[in-house]
Amino acid sequence: MSDTIVNSAEEMMEFGREYAAKAKPNSVFGLVGTLGTGKTHWTKGFVGSTNPDAVVSSPTFAIVNEYRGELHTVFHFDFYRLKSADELVALGWDEYLDEGAITICEWADLFPELMPDHTIWLEISHMSDGSRKIANIKKPTAPTAANQ
């Protein structure tokens, strides 16, 4: 897939809805980008299309939010506040992945070694005109320069 430019929060949510339409149980999405690029808006669109009654918020402090809908369960992680891969494992990371839900991870590049091989990686970047660029990327081996 080629890079996509979005110009608003609504367009970012629409892009998330497009991915949700193709997602299947066990899908994992790794979202990469600096603060304010739209990772949570992408997730709002995604979750809203699979569970319209869900009130989606950033799990920055909770680390994970669960959205159990009729069609899918979605686990929404935010790795930003985690200091080590061991913390994520202690939260039950492997058990979440084994549940068969769809998993969305913001700041996924902080622990790429824990992300499954089938993860779909999206990097969201600020553009100088205020828009955002979304690019499919390969699995990072370390946190991206934008996130350090």
User: How do residues 13-37 score in pLDDT, each as one tens digit?
Assistant: 999 999 999 999 999 999 999 999 9
Q: What are phi and psi of 112, to 5 degrees?
A: -60, -25
Give me the residues paired with residue 105 across strands: 30, 77
* 9 vs 26: CA distance, rounded Å: 27
When pLDDT is averaged across residues 4-10 and rounded to a whole number, the result is 94
Res 54: pLDDT: 85
* Domains, the chain: 1-71+85-98+112-125 (3.40.50.300)
What are the tens digits of pLDDT across the range 84-143? 999 999 999 999 999 999 999 999 999 999 999 999 999 999 999 999 999 988 888 766
What are the tens digits of pLDDT across the range 56-91? 888 877 899 999 988 889 999 999 999 999 999 999
The label of the residue with tokens 């799990």 reads 59
Q: Tell me, what amino acid is at 45? A: G
Strands (DSSP E) along the chain, which ranges?
Answer: 4-6, 28-32, 64-68, 73-78, 102-106, 120-126, 132-137
* 121 vs 30: CA distance, rounded Å: 5
Res 145: pLDDT: 46
